[in-house]
Structure 1
Amino acid sequence: MSMQITDMQSGETGIEGLLVITLKQVSDERGTVREFFRASALGDFGPMRQINVTESGYGAVRGLHGESTTKLVGCIAGEAFGAYLDTRPDSASYGKLVTVELRSGTQVLVPAGVCNGFQSVSRGGSQYLYVFTDEWYPGMPGTAFSPLDEGLGFSWPIPVDAGDPAQISAKDATAPKFSEQSVSG
């Protein structure tokens, strides 16, 4: 195998400001090097203030959470199914939901106020990386909605048992349903 180079690309989605990014990567006989972050490529992403990694077992769901910080997210190990819901009342794409299959080399830039959720779809689990433009703190402004809301019009790839704490937290399972919220704006 000779050296193969994949250039960074980004694409818009149905949600205003939500971008799906393919990372620049260089592969050869030894493996692959991926550029996880390059400030000049992400424009006004802002300074990185906090980085978290979650390890989630097969079928586990986290979210839908929309903090008041912009996030760059992606899988660094395994695969996940991402769901992104625009809950910003003043957004042209308010109420829109976009799903993305996440593998190493794919990221999503999530604007502040857009809810982020995902399900680990790898048998060995997954590691999901979050890069935040602001540090998280207790009481940070934001919103959370149930990832089990049938009214959103999508299904997780792996069925979720709302009573199984290995699949979903009680807090996420009992969060309000976005589809039952009154329309703002």
Structure 2
Amino acid sequence: MKFTALELEGAFVIEVDKMEDQRGFFGRLWCEKEFKDHNLNTNIVQSNVSLSKKKGTLRGMHFQRGSHAETKFVRCTRGSVYDVIVDLRPDSPTYKRWCGVELTADNYKMIYVPENFAHGFLTLEDNSEVYYMVTQFYSAEHEGGLHYNDSDINIEWPIEINEISDKDDKHPKFI
């Protein structure tokens, strides 16, 4: 696995180190030892999948608070998405900064999202599927959200947003 630090402290893009031959390739998507070697959280307790039917669907920006703050490990398994993270840690040198990474079924890139980051994605193709593992069980009372179009964060989405849930559209601006 290839770990590349993103500009937000503690966040990484992880790529499959492909061993290729005439049949195709083999590579690891997850290795507890390699994650620990990079001081990353390996306490995976749940995995989730989402399918978005239409290009331009936004899901986010989500996070869990307090004792349920979670780390996420995200991969696009069908189609493509623009995956965005925002650092919500007040004591971080990258506080309130964001970055985006294109994840596709074909590029095999994954993103490691540290605790206390908001996370969301915009689909770049119809029928895009995202698979992610998390380090905390979902807790409705610890759920939080950040408005995707908050002018204090100023995320630059690569295409028009055509579909968003009422819940996600009503997330508050950054406090």
**Band of TM-score, shorter chain:** 0.7 to 0.9
Distance 1:46 1:19 in 2: 14
Q: In structure 2, what is the equivalent of residue 69 of structure 1?
A: 70
Q: In structure 1, what is the equivalent of residue 119 of structure 2?
A: 116
The aligned amino acid for 2:91 is D
Q: In structure 2, what is the equivalent of residue 155 of structure 1?
A: 156
Distance 1:31 1:126 in 2: 23
Report the alpha carbon displacement of residue 149 of structure 1 after superposing the two structures with TM: 2.3
Distance 1:29 1:127 in 2: 28
1:138 to 137, 140, 143: 140
Distance 1:28 1:126 in 2: 28
Report the alpha carbon displacement of residue 134 of structure 1 after superposing the two structures with TM: 1.6
RMSD: 1.7
SS at match of 1:152: coil
Report the alpha carbon displacement of residue 30 of structure 1 after superposing the two structures with TM: 4.0
| Aligned structure 1 segments of 4 or more residues deviating by more than 3 angstroms | 26-34
TM-score normalized with structure 2 length:
0.86
Unaligned ranges ≥5, structure 1: 1-7, 162-166
Unaligned ranges ≥5, structure 2: none
Report the alpha carbon displacement of residue 31 of structure 1 after superposing the two structures with TM: 3.8
SS at match of 1:80: strand
Distance 1:83 1:28 in 2: 34
The aligned amino acid for 1:53 is V
Report the alpha carbon displacement of residue 29 of structure 1 after superposing the two structures with TM: 4.2
Distance 1:88 1:143 in 2: 14
Distance 2:95 2:51 in 1: 30
The aligned amino acid for 2:58 is V
Name the % identity: 29
SS at match of 2:140: coil
Q: In structure 2, what is the equivalent of residue 26 of structure 1?
A: 19
Higher relative contact order (CA 8 A, sep 6+): 2
Residues 113 and 142, structure 1, Cα contact 8 Å, conserved in 2 = no
Distance 1:80 1:12 in 2: 20
Residues 17 and 111, structure 1, Cα contact 8 Å, conserved in 2 = yes
Residues 149 and 155, structure 2, Cα contact 8 Å, conserved in 1 = no
